[in-house]
Amino acid sequence: MIKIKIIAMGRLTEASFNLASSEYIKRISKFFSLTVTEIKPVQISGNPGAKEIENALLSESSKIIAEIPPKAYVVAACVEGKQLSSEKFSSIIEEKSTYGYDTICFIIGSSHGLHDSVKKRSDLKLSFSEMTFPHELFRVLLLEQIYRAGEILNGGKYHK
């Protein structure tokens, strides 16, 4: 069973997203061994300049990279990434587990995104939509797709 690790910046502060996330984590445990690691984002001012954002993302990036397991296939969530259908997403999870990886590691940035060094370290840049969603809601979307992938790979009726 391939392991899945999600590295996310910040906590889920909205009660609804927390509840949805717990529910999907419970359902995912049927299919994958999942861990979620939350990293405290760097506090920045209310109206930050480009340099302040860059410095914050850089400081976050070293903590993120330190959390990536050695034999992980790394997927960074970025709006400029590639979009996949749910079927294709599930086939990537299946495929990587036969290619010598023991973990698929998803990285979700803060509302300012991810530093370039994290994107460069990743094997796949993945986008879910041309639209922008809050990173807390994005975590729910990712968990739902991981659960759906488990259902697809195990021939369940959830995905039709």
Q: Is 19 in the site for a second copy (CB under 8 A)?
A: yes
CB proximity list for 19: less than 8 A, separation 6 or greater: none
* H or E segment and range at residue 80: strand 72-83
80 versus 99: smaller Cβ distance to a second copy: 80
Sheet with 124-127: strands ordered across: 33-39, 3-9, 103-108, 72-83, 124-127
Q: Is 26 in the site for a second copy (CB under 8 A)?
A: no
Reduced to 3 states, what is the DSSP secondary structure of residue 130?
coil
Q: Where in 85-144 is the site for a second copy (CB under 8 A)? A: 85-86, 89, 111-112, 128-134, 137, 140-141, 144
Q: Is 148 in the site for a second copy (CB under 8 A)?
A: yes
121 versus 159: smaller Cβ distance to a second copy: 159
Vertex 7 angle, CA 103 and 140, to 5°: 100
Distance in Å, CB of 69 to a second copy, minimum:
25
x/- binding map, residues 42-81, to a second copy, per CB under 8 A? ----x-----------------------------------
Q: Cα dist. 87→12, 14, 133, 146 in Å?
A: 27, 29, 22, 11
Q: List interacting residues with a second copy (CB under 8 A).
A: 14-20, 23, 46, 83-86, 89, 111-112, 128-134, 137, 140-141, 144-145, 148, 157, 159-160
